Amino acid sequence: MDKDRIEGKMDEVKGKVKEKVGEMTGNRKTQAEGMADQVKGKVQNTFGKMKDEVRAENELDREEQIEKRRDDVA
């Protein structure tokens, strides 16, 4: 799992907590910061997922190339 996915999830959770605290205390600034943290976390998490997918695709390509070379040699 990519580091960005972990950090993104942490920001999402932090944002949810901050938003709820803002709601409970009537502090709109804290509530808005929490919502912003959640968006930031979702973006970072999505970026991490994309990086994971690219890595997986590259690994699959490498495995296919190795298999093709084995077939060519045999």
Mean pLDDT, all residues of the chain = 93
Structure-block tokens of residue 50: 């994309």
Angle, vertex CA 53, rays to CA 8 and CA 50, nearest 5: 40
pLDDT tens digits, one per residue of 16-45: 999 999 999 999 999 999 999 999 999 999
pTM of the model: 0.75
Per the listing, tokens 């943290």 go with 37
Q: Does residue 26 come out as left (phi exceeding 0), alpha (psi in the -120 to 50 range) or beta?
A: left
